[in-house]
Amino acid sequence: MAKNRKTHYSGIGGQAVLEGVMMKNGERYAVAVRKPDGEIDVETQEYKGFCGGREFTKVPFIRGIFSFIDSLVLGMKVTMHSASFYEEDEEPDVQSGHKAIGKKSDDIMMGITVALSVIIAVALFMVLPFLLSDLLGKVVRNASLIAIFEGLIRILIFVGYIVAISLMEDIKRLYRYHGAEHKCINCIERGRPLNVKNVMRSSRQHKRCGTSFLLFVVLVSVIVFFFIRVDNLALKIIIRLLLVPVIAGISYELIRLAGRSDNVIVQIISRPGLWLQKLTTKEPDEDMVRVAIASVEAVFDWKTYLKEEFGYTDENLEAMDES
């Protein structure tokens, strides 16, 4: 068995859901949820993406836009799935009579929710800081100073939002599952067999986390918007809105690079996102870890991965299996 403990890229990613974890590997994903009766429900499906995996969705700097949309759509879908286990029970006849209609309504509501989420996020993190900085422009004539002020406001709003929601009890529990998700991926990518003991001692911070991606979006926007120098207020807002996909594309390439490289420079630019993850991930308990492991094993052959990437043998893995 190889003793190399350098992080290897596995390709798997995921997110926390209500009392569970979703893991995605290529086009396959699994959602593992701890049901009210204590059992773990695991559902595995395929998701080919918003545009069905067409070639243009894989072009660098463009793929990030579609990846972001896909993460929103799939994220909403799996969140609704996990929440369904904790909805109040309906009468059997009502449930069966409205099953098809309910499914269609859910799809419509999911689309509306995703669209509203994007609109609110853009308004809150892109437009609001600009409008606040524009007020400063009435008393300060230095364009560079105003641009810096806008960037600081954007960063403060984002970090403030993260801090505020991390204080909610329900979110704290969700963040524990988020920690379990990261620990599982780190366990595998650091070359350790996937069991509760190894997962519990793994890090809950990961460079490919969505939190880091969003922070990259904020920081890249600060740099990009600094160089926008037009006088018309409406034109400034329009340009900022048009540049949102560009910023998302650049941020995706940065997070993608971070997940595949241990270069010193990459580690430095990844550090702020890892710090922020101390807020968006919490330490899980062993039951939460078991849920995350069930999700991983439904879509990812970690034993073959460890053999190919780290030189394990069947004997090594059998000897290290959790009793």
Amino acid sitting at position 111: G
Query: What is the rounded distance in angstroms from the CA atom of residue 16 to the CA atom of residue 214?
Result: 16
**202-240: per-residue pLDDT in tens?**
999 999 999 999 999 999 999 998 888 788 888 988 898
Q: What is the per-residue pLDDT for 5? A: 53
278 vs 99: which has the higher pLDDT = 278
Q: How far is CA 127 from CA 15, 119, 152, 210, 240, in A?
A: 27, 10, 13, 21, 8
d(CA 155, CA 148): 11
At residue 141, the pLDDT reads 79
Question: 73 versus 41: which is more confidently predicted?
Answer: 41
Contact 59/108 with Cβ under 8 angstroms? no
Most confident of the following: 85-94, 232-241, 304-313: 304-313
The pLDDT of residue 34: 96
What average pLDDT score do residues 12-29 get? Answer: 95
Higher pLDDT, 317 or 94: 317
For residue 323, the model assigns a pLDDT of: 42
Least confident of 28-32, 42-46, 192-196, 224-228: 224-228
Q: According to the model, what pLDDT value does residue 250 have? A: 95
If DSSP codes are grouped into helix, strand and coil, which group holds residue 316? helix
Residue 271 has pLDDT above 90, yes or no: yes
Residues 6+ apart with CB under 8 A from 59: none
Half-sphere exposure of residue 166, counting CA atoms within 13 Å on the CB side? 17
CB 270 within 8 A of CB 207: yes
When pLDDT is cut at 50, 70 and 90, the band that residue 198 belongs to is very high
Q: What is the pLDDT of residue 99?
A: 46
Beta carbons of 114 and 73 less than 8 angstroms apart: yes
- Helix (H) / strand (E) element for 12: namely strand 12-17
pLDDT tens, residue by residue, 49-59: 877 777 888 88
